[in-house]
Amino acid sequence: MKKRRLGKNGPEVSTLGLGCMGMSHAYSQAPDRRQMIALVRKAIERGITFFDTAEAYGPYINEALVGEALAPFRDQVVIATKFGFAFNASGAQTGTDSRPEHIRQVAEASLTRLRVEAIDLFYQHRVDPSVPIEDVAGAVKDLIAQGKVKHFGMSEAGVQTIRRAHAVQPVTALQSEYSLWWRRPEAEVLPTLEELGIGFVPFSPLGRGFLTGAIDENTTFDKSDFRNNVPRFTAENRKANRVLVDLLQTLARQKNATPAQLALAWLLAQKPWIVPIPGTTKEHRLLENLGAETVTFSSVELGEIDAALAQIAVQGARYTETLERATGL
């Protein structure tokens, strides 16, 4: 795969990364662990060098899975993980926690689970309203000085919070949702990142599977699948939002591509410092996603896509209010 640099001074990574959350969290009963380790290693064979995990995924078990899978390839890959949530004894999230002492504890635990001497990219998973962002950035700055972390990242943060953190410890990358059906970062976030030299890592670049065309109003999700509680994934909204998938399918046919490839290629075409992290538990989807790298657009084509999208009103909120506040996704 081709490479991109995350921000002005960040690491060089593959054009597409791999989101590993679904290998042990959120979408269904966890797949077979050995199969997921094999899938991560297949991704390396195919040129992916950027892998995303978090202590919240499981919690904890996803980091351990990724650590085992990548241990033989440590010098070839960039691993991102996250801090910022608190959990009770049963593993349920109990809120945000970005106190400096907690950040240090999470870093030590993540280093062990990931089997690394330094965390390549350490994101604050969600902004903690009870802890000044300057204190958070300062804690990560100390970890960087100690050689335990290489780069500082943030997730789903607003532009003023990003600026305040960046003034204390340069932010290498922001991870937030961005896709053809969630374009809010374009208004303020992307211009700010470009100004400050910060890379952007879109999560859910395929709309949690919806943009692939494999989901419609008749799809039944596993009872453990968090999409059961997402307004955008009610049967009514899935039916209404098929108009977007129909457009993607038409555009994809014109490019001899799949809807997933077109959606990822569109993201790659927005900025050279954007690195999407589509997740999957299936090898054929992994290989399909990698084909996005060969799909290109002219400026005229991008304008035509924007014009077509402007005619479509996506139905349903991306999260419930509770999930918006508390989720680690």
Would you name the residues annotated as active-site residues? 57
Phi, psi of 175 (to 5 degrees): -110, 120
Task: Report the SS3 class of residue 49.
Answer: coil
Measured between alpha carbons, how far is 53 from 25 in angstroms, rounded to an integer?
10
In angstroms, what is the C-alpha Rg of the chain? 19
Task: Report the SS3 class of residue 310.
Answer: coil
Which contacts (CB < 8 Å, 24+ apart) does range 44-48 have? 44/70, 44/73, 44/76, 44/77, 46/1, 46/286, 46/287, 46/290, 47/1, 47/14, 47/290, 48/1, 48/14, 48/16, 48/17, 48/18, 48/290
Point out which residues pair with 82 in neighbouring strands: 123
Measured between alpha carbons, how far is 137 from 120 in angstroms, rounded to an integer?
16
Q: Is the dihedral of CA 226, 231, 235, 239 positive or negative?
A: negative
Measured between alpha carbons, how far is 311 from 187 in angstroms, rounded to an integer?
18
Measured between alpha carbons, how far is 63 from 65 in angstroms, rounded to an integer?
5
